[in-house]
């Protein structure tokens, strides 16, 4: 059902989206062979999310806060991430919610990059503190795989889910 929900969202966002042409890369990322659209799909629990761009790479992720994120934080949280998070003044949020925001943001970046071979701790790091937009958080990242690329990941916290998304343009 989540698979179908993601495909439905693609058509909802762009009615001419060619679902029937979707292929799956070795990295498990779905893509279109002629890159008419760049897109990303995520699902978690009873939720599904999709992002589509006609020009820029895109990544989306949704996560439900869980203790598992806290248990594996040593695998994805760089010292810079911890430093900038501690200076972000998000005191009204639990540490578990903040870790989930970081995990979700890095998952969205991973999907944006789409080529695999990414170390979540070393290749994706906050470059300054988390900022506040009108309704979402803005996470300024530097992606350090082949070159240093500065990107903004947007995140929104709902009652029991975190939604994060990124496109090449900030």
pLDDT at 168: 80
What gap in Å lies between CA 148 and CA 137, rounded to an integer?
Answer: 22
Q: Could you tell me if 46 and 93 lie in one domain? A: no
Strands 162-167 and 58-63: antiparallel
Q: Could you tell me if 25 and 91 lie in one domain? A: no
User: Domain residues for 98?
Assistant: 60-167
What gap in Å lies between CA 79 and CA 86, rounded to an integer?
Answer: 11
pLDDT at 86: 72
What gap in Å lies between CA 50 and CA 3, rounded to an integer?
Answer: 11
Residues near 56 by beta carbon (within 8 Å), at least 6 away in sequence? 38, 167, 168, 169
Q: Could you tell me if 21 and 73 lie in one domain? A: no
What is the dihedral sign for C-alpha 4, 6, 8, 10?
negative
Q: Could you tell me if 25 and 88 lie in one domain? A: no
Tell me the two tokens of residue 118: 């990414």
Q: Could you tell me if 41 and 80 lie in one domain? A: no
pTM of the predicted structure, to 2 decimals: 0.91
pLDDT at 72: 95
Q: Could you tell me if 140 and 85 lie in one domain? A: yes
End-of-domain residue from the set 17, 33, 56: 56
Query: Can you give the length of the chain in residues?
Result: 170
Radius of gyration of the chain (CA): 16
End-of-domain residue from the set 15, 37, 56: 56
Number of domains present in the structure of the chain: 2
pLDDT at 3: 76
Tell me the two tokens of residue 93: 């949020």
Q: What is the CATH number of the domain that holds 135?
A: 3.90.470.20
Q: Could you tell me if 87 and 145 lie in one domain? A: yes
Q: Could you tell me if 71 and 40 lie in one domain? A: no
pLDDT averages per 10-residue partition of the chain, 170 residues? 87 94 88 91 93 93 94 94 74 80 96 91 93 86 92 93 86
End-of-domain residue from the set 41, 56, 71: 56
Q: Could you tell me if 52 and 67 lie in one domain? A: no
pLDDT at 146: 82
pLDDT at 28: 82
């Amino acid at each position: 059902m989540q698979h179908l929900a993601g495909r439905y969202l693609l058509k909802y966002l762009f009615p001419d989206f060619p679902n029937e042409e979707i292929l799956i890369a070795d990295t498990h990322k779905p893509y279109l062979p002629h890159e008419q659209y760049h897109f990303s799909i995520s699902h978690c629990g009873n939720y599904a999310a999709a992002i589509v761009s006609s020009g820029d790479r895109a990544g989306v992720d949704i996560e439900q806060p869980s203790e598992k994120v806290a248990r594996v934080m040593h695998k994805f949280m760089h010292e810079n991430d911890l430093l900038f998070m501690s200076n972000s003044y998000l005191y009204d949020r639990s540490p578990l919610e903040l870790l989930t925001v970081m995990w979700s943001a890095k998952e969205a970046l991973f999907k944006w990059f789409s080529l695999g071979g990414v170390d979540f701790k070393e290749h994706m790091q906050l470059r300054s503190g988390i900022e506040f937009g009108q309704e979402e958080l803005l996470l300024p990242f530097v992606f350090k795989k082949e070159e240093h690329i500065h990107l903004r990941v947007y995140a929104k916290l709902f009652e029991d889910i975190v939604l994060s998304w990124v496109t090449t343009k900030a």
